[in-house]
Amino acid sequence: MSDWKKLMTDAEEDNPQIAARKVKLAALRQAGINPYPNGFRPAWSLARIFHDHDPVTDAAALEQVHVSAAGRVMLLRSFGKLTFATLQDASGRLQIAVQRDTVGAEFYNEVFRKVEVGDHLGVEGHLFRTRTNELTLRATRVRLLTKSVRPLPEKFHGLEDRETRYRRRYVDLIVNPEVRELFRLRSRIIRHIRGFLEDRGYLEVETPMMHPIPGGATARPFVTHHNALGVDLYLRVAPELYLKRLIVGGFERVFEINRNFRNEGLSVRHNPEFTMLEFYQAYADYHDLMDLTEELLAGVVREVTGGGARVIHQGREIDFTPPWPRLTLAEALVRHAGADAQRMTERAYLEELLRRLGGEPRAGADAGALLLEAFELGAEARLIQPTFIMDYPVSVSPLSRRSDSRPEVAERFELFIGGWEVANAFSELNDPADQAARFRGQVAAKAAGDDEAMHFDADYIRALEYGMPPTAGEGIGIDRLVMLLTDAAAIRDVLLFPQMRPEGGE
């Protein structure tokens, strides 16, 4: 144990509330009560007890219902010889009543009176209604299932401190029901996406998280080391190149929902590890994927809203009813940033446009890079309703297929919703010679100081040389999608355990 950890432990033991709970724990053990037994098996969830019996108005009928349940004590109201407690389990809450004369004076006084908010109980008994008509479980037997030695946050305000909520998500989940709901919804969203793709013949696969050569995205990777192999490995920045190897291998439709890792700053929309959906389909192009994306996301929104097409995100209504506008980069700049449609191919005009939008042309930036940067500054944030932006410059799309009619343009789109990039997709480059040339360009950029540029992946070129069928592929950032659908303002709100600086370090 490190010194600071020991200090923290000592400090916790100084907390009189924890000390008082440990005294009770010790007293229970002294009385022969195991404070952490495993063996109680609740037959009912609290929500099921409520939903099955709350409509019942006949007191005699309720009294006939025998149930057992388990849960955490969230509220405790003691009247001496009678105690009401509110139990919470995964399904919900239910009030129980424990009477001294029912459970026995010795148990009531020596054991049950030591139960506190936070403890887990197993209860058996019958149902009744209180004078205020609340359906309540009258316990005939009570068993302590887990003693809690750490006090929960105050019952009314709960836990509001954002730092503590992120660092102790378990407490956040105990006391904040809307947080539990959000993460259940996140799970449903992912389940829906998985089902959608499986229904269309996509095979779910898992590809390496540790890459000898990081690839598939322009991003700084994390580096780690494998001792036995004696090599450095990179946590993946994208699964793309492995998924396309599987297309070469003959799986014509594959997808992966998993983590990517990028060694970049944290922000309200960035976590170093984040969840990405990538899917690839042979014999399709990026237009096919636009259709598929509309269908997929409109279906997810129906799942989330119970059949609707609209969600509210941060006070703005977003309508997912297809079809969604499909604009080229240049068209988006004309429409949203007042650019001159006649001059979008003039380099001098693009520099002027970029400056007008508050940017500064970078040394060595070609016309394509200028166009993209102008778009990001002038148009991206205004794309609130779902909008496909198409036809990116090849120079900023090193893995995309070229347009047959316009070789400087990539067959690529990004989907913007709420001002954020939510998806990135393209017809895949399957010409090994062109791909090798693009890699060489990336390597040159890296040598010139671009530490996000890609490496040359010789095995990927070798795979393409065997022949990858014409393919389209897409990545969708799951965290951002969940943010949009749950009205979350920060990525940390949709991650169970967001990355935080270590606490209490020296």
Partner RNA sequence: GGGCCGUUAGCUCAGUCGGUAGAGCAACAGACUUUUAAUCUGUGGGUCGUUGGUUCGACUCCAACACGGCUCACCA
Site for RNA in 266-285 (CB under 7 A): 267-272, 274
Q: Give the interface segment with RNA, choosing from 12-20, 241-249, 291-299, 386-394 (CB under 7 A).
A: 12-20
Task: Please select the residue that binds RNA; options are 6, 29, 77, 226, rule is CB under 7 A.
Answer: 77
CB closer to RNA, 46 vs 248: 46
Task: Please select the residue that binds RNA; options are 24, 126, 336, 455, rule is CB under 7 A.
Answer: 24
Q: Which residues contact 95 (CB under 8 A, 6 or more apart)?
A: 84, 85, 86, 87, 130, 134, 135, 136, 137
Find the shortest distance in angstroms from Cβ 437 to RNA: 21
Measured distance CA(381)–CA(328) in Å, rounded:
16
Task: Please select the residue that binds RNA; options are 477, 481, 484, 486, rule is CB under 7 A.
Answer: 477
Site for RNA in 121-180 (CB under 7 A): 128, 130-134, 136, 151, 153-164, 166
Find the shortest distance in angstroms from Cβ 352 to RNA: 18
CB closer to RNA, 282 vs 327: 327
Task: Please select the residue that binds RNA; options are 82, 185, 203, 213, rule is CB under 7 A.
Answer: 82
The yes or no reply on residue 17 touching RNA (CB under 7 A) is: yes
Q: Tokens 């897409």 correspond to what residue? A: 474
The yes or no reply on residue 59 touching RNA (CB under 7 A) is: no
283 three-state secondary structure: coil
Site for RNA in 361-420 (CB under 7 A): 376, 420
In degrees rounded to 5, what are phi and psi of residue 117?
-55, 130
Site for RNA in 415-474 (CB under 7 A): 420-422, 424, 452
The yes or no reply on residue 27 touching RNA (CB under 7 A) is: no
CB closer to RNA, 36 vs 79: 79
How does DSSP classify residue 90? T
Site for RNA in 290-309 (CB under 7 A): none
Task: Please select the residue that binds RNA; options are 76, 190, 203, 436, rule is CB under 7 A.
Answer: 76
Find the shortest distance in angstroms from Cβ 262 to RNA: 5
How does DSSP classify residue 152? P
What is the DSSP secondary-structure string of 169-232? HHHHHHH-HHHHHHHHHHHHHHHHHHHHHHHTTPEE----SEESS--SSSSPPPEEEETTTTEE
CB closer to RNA, 98 vs 248: 98
Structure tokens at 352: 């002027």
For the chain, percent helix, then strand, then coil, each to nearest 5?
40, 25, 35
Provide the b/e sequence for 123-144 (b: ≥16 CB within 10 Å): bbbbbebeeeeebbbbbeebbb
Measured distance CA(420)–CA(147) in Å, rounded:
46
CB closer to RNA, 122 vs 418: 418
Name 312's bridge partners: 317
Find the shortest distance in angstroms from Cβ 165 to RNA: 8
Find the shortest distance in angstroms from Cβ 75 to RNA: 4
The yes or no reply on residue 496 touching RNA (CB under 7 A) is: no
Radius of gyration, alpha carbons of the chain? 29
Measured distance CA(226)–CA(44) in Å, rounded:
48
Q: Which of 161, 155, 159 is nearest to 180 (CA)?
A: 159
Q: Give the interface segment with RNA, choosing from 13-21, 57-65, 247-255, 303-311 (CB under 7 A).
A: 13-21
CB closer to RNA, 367 vs 476: 476
Residues 260 and 243 sit within 8 Å (Cβ to Cβ): no
Q: Give the interface segment with RNA, choosing from 47-55, 77-85, 439-447, 455-463 (CB under 7 A).
A: 77-85
Interhelix angle 329-337/367-378, rounded to 10 degrees, is 40
Find the shortest distance in angstroms from Cβ 460 to RNA: 18
CB closer to RNA, 163 vs 232: 163
Task: Please select the residue that binds RNA; options are 43, 59, 444, 489, rule is CB under 7 A.
Answer: 489
The yes or no reply on residue 78 touching RNA (CB under 7 A) is: yes
Count, residues near RNA per rule CB under 7 A: 75
Structure tokens at 480: 């951002």
CB closer to RNA, 248 vs 387: 387
Give the strands of the sheet with 210-211, arranged side by side.
Answer: 210-211, 231-235, 223-226
135 three-state secondary structure: strand
Site for RNA in 205-264 (CB under 7 A): 217-219, 262, 264
Task: Please select the residue that binds RNA; options are 26, 43, 458, 500, rule is CB under 7 A.
Answer: 500
